[in-house]
C-alpha cells in the first residue's frame, strides 16, 4: 500500500511545487501525488503559470491533504514560489527539473527561490549527470535543504520525498517558533531583572543621601553630569549608561559616617574629616563585598551565573565610591593614587560631584553661581581634575548649568 500523504502531517496540507518542461513528467507528478487522493480531503492540483494560481484559488478546508502546483518552466516555478510565500503558504518541497529550455534552468530557478525562501527544500530531479549533486549543493546551499533524485524516478521515491520533507519542514518551523518564544522570554526576564536592579540601585542611592537632606537631588544631577562628560569624551554607549547609572552611588558610604560628623553645620576638625573620608572605603566595601553570600544564593536559585561583585554595575559603582575623592595630582584620598591610575569613571564623578557641591548651598557656604563654580573648577584643572575631563566639562559647561537648574526642584 502507498504511504498516506495526509498522515505525514497534522496541521494543514503538504505543499508541493513540481517544475518540469516535459508534460509527461508533470502528469507523472500529478498521478503519483494526487491520483490516489487522501482520506481526509480532496487534494488540489493546478497546472499553468504561477501568477494565476494564487489569485484564483480560494484556499480552504476542501484542500486539506495536499496542494500541488505544476509548472513547465524555471521562471514559472520561481513565480509560483514567490506568490506562495507572499500568500503565507510557502512550499514545503520543490521538485525541480535541472535542464529546461528558455529562461532559467533548474539550478538558476532554485537559486532565485532560495533568495526569498531560505527554508524551501529543493529536490533536483534529473536524468543527466553534467551537474553532480556536489556542484548543486555548492550553488544552492544550505546542504540540509537540498536533495537529488535521478530520473526515471519511482512513485515511491516522490511520495516519500514529499512526505518526509514536509514533516521536516514542519519540525523546523516548530523549532524555530519555540526558539523565538524562548528568546522573547529571555528578553522579557532580562528586562525584569534589569528593572529591579535599577530600582534597587536608585533606592540604595536614596538611602545613602537620606540623612543628608542638604544634598537634595544631588545624586540625580551627578548621574546626568557624568553621562554628559562620558559622551563628550566619546566613550561607548555601554560605558555612558553604566557611569550615569552608578555615579549616583558615589557617597553611599556616608551611611557609615556618624550623624554628628555628617550633619555638622560647621567645618570639620581634622579628626572628623578623617572619619568623613572613610565613606569612600565604606562605600566600596558595601558594594563590592558579597553580603551574606548572596552570590551563592542567586546561583543556587539559578538567577545568576557569575554575578555579584563581577556584575559590571556593581564593579563600576564600587570603583566610583572608592575613587571619587582621588585627585589627578595624587593628593586626594583614600588611596592618594594619581593620573590615569584613577579609574576614568571616578575621575568623571570627581568633577561632577565638585561642580554640584559648589552650586549647592551648604550649612557652611552659600550656593555659587555657574560662573563662580566654573572658575573654581578651572583652578583645579590638571591638579585636582583630569585635564581631559575638565576640557570635556568646558565644552559642555552650559549644559551643566542647565541640568543644575532643571534638576533642582
The site for Fe ion (CB under 5 A) is made up of 251
CB of 322 to Fe ion, least distance (A): 10
Strands 66-71 and 14-19: parallel
Q: Are 275 and 261 in contact (CB under 8 A)?
A: yes
Decide whether 80 or 346 has the Cβ nearer to Fe ion: 346
Q: How far is the CB of 306 from Fe ion (least distance, A)?
A: 30
Three-class secondary structure of residue 307 per DSSP: coil
Contact status, residue 90 vs residue 120, Cβ threshold 8 Å: yes
C-alpha span between 125 and 119 (Å, rounded): 19
**Minimum distance from residue 291 beta carbon to Fe ion (Å):** 21
Residue 373 makes CB contacts below 8 A (sequence gap 6+) with: 355, 358, 359
Residue number with CB closer to Fe ion (79 or 251) = 251
Grid cell for residue 101: 529550455
Residue 350 Cβ vs Fe ion, minimum distance, rounded to whole Å: 9
The CB-of-191 to Fe ion minimum distance in angstroms stands at 32
Give 146 or 276: the residue with its C-beta nearer to Fe ion: 276
Question: CB of 265: closest distance to Fe ion in angstroms?
Answer: 18
Decide if 115 contacts 109 (C-beta within 8 A): no
User: What residues contact residue 265 under an 8 Å CB cut-off, 6+ apart?
Assistant: 363, 364
How many helices, marked H, and strands, marked E, lie in the chain? Answer: 17, 6
Residue with smallest beta-carbon separation from Fe ion: 251
CB of 254 to Fe ion, least distance (A): 7
Q: CB neighbours (10 Å) of residue 369?
A: 12
Nearer to Fe ion, 251 or 326 (CB): 251
Phi, psi of 171 (to 5 degrees): -60, -45
Of 76 and 343, which has the nearer Cβ to Fe ion? 343
- The residue (of 245 and 321) whose beta carbon lies closer to Fe ion is 321
**Least Cβ distance, residue 374 to Fe ion (angstroms):** 21
Give residues with Cβ within 8 angstroms of 364, minimum separation 6: 265, 266, 267
Q: Which residues are CB-neighbours of 166 under 8 A, at least 6 positions away?
A: 8, 9, 14, 15, 16, 92, 93
Of 376, 364, 366, 365, the C-alpha closest to 400 is 376
Q: In this complex, which beta carbon is closest to Fe ion, that of residue 50 or of residue 248?
A: 248
d(CA 87, CA 89): 5
Name the maximum alpha-carbon separation found in the chain.
105
CB of 229 to Fe ion, least distance (A): 17
Are 345 and 316 contacting, i.e. CB atoms less than 8 angstroms apart?
yes
Q: To the nearest whole angstrom, how small is the minimum distance from the Cβ of residue 215 to Fe ion?
A: 10
- Is the CB of residue 298 less than 8 Å from the CB of residue 260? no
Neighbour tally for 143: CB within 10 Å: 12
Between 121 and 244, whose beta carbon lies closer to Fe ion?
Answer: 244
Which residue, 251 or 345, is less far from Fe ion as judged by CB?
251
Which CB atom, from 43 or from 248, has the smaller least distance to Fe ion?
Answer: 248
Expressed in angstroms, the distance from the first to the final Cα of the chain is 84
Amino acid at each position: 500500500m502507498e504511504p498516506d500523504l495526509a498522515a505525514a502531517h497534522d496541521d494543514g496540507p503538504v505543499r508541493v511545487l513540481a517544475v518540469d518542461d516535459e508534460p509527461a513528467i508533470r502528469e507523472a507528478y500529478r498521478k503519483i501525488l494526487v491520483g490516489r487522493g487522501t482520506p481526509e480531503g480532496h487534494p488540489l492540483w493546478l497546472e499553468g503559470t504561477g501568477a494565476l494560481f494564487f489569485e484564483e484559488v480560494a484556499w480552504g478546508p476542501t484542500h486539506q491533504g495536499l496542494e500541488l502546483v505544476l509548472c513547465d518552466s524555471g521562471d514559472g516555478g520561481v513565480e509560483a514560489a514567490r506568490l506562495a510565500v507572499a500568500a503565507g503558504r510557502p512550499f514545503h518541497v520543490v521538485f525541480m527539473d535541472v535542464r529546461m529550455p528558455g529562461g532559467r534552468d533548474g539550478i538558476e530557478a532554485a537559486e532565485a527561490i532560495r533568495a526569498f525562501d531560505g527554508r524551501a527544500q529543493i529536490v533536483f530531479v534529473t536524468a543527466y549527470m553534467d551537474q553532480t549533486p556536489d556542484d548543486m549543493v555548492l550553488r544552492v546551499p544550505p546542504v540540509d535543504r537540498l536533495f537529488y533524485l535521478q530520473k526515471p524516478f519511482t512513485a515511491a521515491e516522490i511520495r516519500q520525498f514529499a512526505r518526509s520533507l514536509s514533516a521536516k519542514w514542519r519540525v523546523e518551523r516548530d523549532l524555530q517558533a519555540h526558539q523565538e518564544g524562548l528568546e522573547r522570554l529571555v528578553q522579557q526576564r532580562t528586562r525584569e531583572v534589569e528593572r529591579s536592579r535599577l530600582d534597587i540601585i536608585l533606592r540604595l542611592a536614596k538611602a545613602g543621601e537620606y540623612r543628608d537632606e542638604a544634598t537634595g537631588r544631588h545624586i540625580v544631577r551627578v548621574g546626568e553630569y557624568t553621562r554628559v562628560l562620558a559622551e563628550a569624551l566619546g566613550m561607548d554607549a555601554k560605558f555612558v549608561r553604566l557611569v550615569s547609572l552608578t555615579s549616583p552611588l558615589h557617597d553611599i558610604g556616608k551611611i557609615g559616617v556618624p550623624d554628628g560628623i555628617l550633619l555638622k553645620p560647621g567645618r570639620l576638625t581634622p579628626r572628623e574629616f578623617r572619619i568623613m573620608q572613610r565613606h569612600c572605603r565604606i562605600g566600596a566595601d558595601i558594594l563590592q563585598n558579597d553580603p551574606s553570600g548572596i552570590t551563592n544564593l542567586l546561583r543556587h536559585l539559578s538567577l545568576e551565573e557569575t554575578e555579584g561583585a563581577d556584575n559590571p554595575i556593581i564593579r563600576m559603582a564600587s570603583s566610583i565610591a572608592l575613587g571619587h575623592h582621588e585627585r589627578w595630582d595624587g593628593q586626594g584620598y583614600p588611596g592618594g593614587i594619581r593620573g590615569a591610575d584613577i579609574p576614568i569613571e571616578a575621575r568623571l564623578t570627581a568633577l561632577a560631584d565638585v561642580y554640584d557641591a559648589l552650586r549647592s548651598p551648604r550649612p557652611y557656604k552659600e550656593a555659587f553661581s555657574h560662573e563662580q563654580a566654573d572658575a573654581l573648577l578651572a583652578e583645579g584643572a590638571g591638579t585636582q581634575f583630569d585635564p581631559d575631563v575638565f576640557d570635556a566639562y568646558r565644552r559642555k559647561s552650559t549644559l551643566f548649568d542647565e541640568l543644575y537648574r532643571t534638576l533642582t526642584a
